[in-house]
Amino acid sequence: MFASRHGEYDRTVSIFEALASGEQPSPAEFSMSVHHSLAGLLSVHAGNRGVHTAVAAGADSFGFGFLEAVSLVSERPADPVLFVYYDEPLPSPYERFREGGETLPLVLALELRKPSEDDRAITFTATPAENKTPSPSAAEDFLHFYLSGAPQAASDGQRMHWRWRRDA
């Protein structure tokens, strides 16, 4: 399970630049510009024949990716799910579209699984956002929550309000 706000945008820009200068884009650059290409490469390397999903949802990418990963665990509780969130700064032609505030580049990999009796589970909820300014990075908000041991944390996206809570 992969999620990214912008994916491999540097590669896409290099393809646009090649086309604008009358050159043929690199086939390798083209194949790696697809949003889920990283998942495919890692699957080939690991010999993983399972399914993978890639999510891109703007400021809500981490939250919707996390939701998808939790759903996969719920669907197949015996199988852990690797959730990878990654992002990098937008390339210079697109910098003006950057929402700002996030620390980039950022990569966060989490193994999600059904909690055992000894685990302190994390409960996750999502509700529609109420016209709030999105957090710079829900991934960073979650990481701070996870590492701090805090009992709960929240993050606002463009569309959703994401909340995590540690079960007692």
DSSP per-residue codes, 31-82: HHHSTTHHHHHHHHHHT--S---EE--GGGHHHHHHHHHHHHHHHSTTS-EE
Reported as a single tens digit per residue, the pLDDT across 73-122 is 999 999 999 999 998 888 777 777 776 666 778 999 999 999 888 888 89
pLDDT (0 to 100) of residue 109? 95
Residue 20: CATH number of its domain: 3.40.47.10
Asked whether residue 81 is assigned to any structural domain, the reply reads yes
Q: Which residues contact 89 (CB under 8 A, 6 or more apart)?
A: 95, 98, 104, 105
Asked whether residue 50 is assigned to any structural domain, the reply reads yes
Q: Which pTM does this prediction carry?
A: 0.86
Asked whether residue 124 is assigned to any structural domain, the reply reads no
pLDDT in single tens digits along all 168 residues of the chain: 899 988 777 788 888 889 999 999 888 887 777 777 878 888 888 898 887 888 988 889 999 999 999 999 999 999 999 999 998 888 777 777 776 666 778 999 999 999 888 888 899 999 999 877 888 899 999 999 999 999 999 999 989 999 999 987
Count of domains for the chain: 1
In the 8-state DSSP scheme, what is residue 158? S
Asked whether residue 73 is assigned to any structural domain, the reply reads yes
Asked whether residue 135 is assigned to any structural domain, the reply reads no
Asked whether residue 22 is assigned to any structural domain, the reply reads yes
Domain that holds residue 54: 2-119
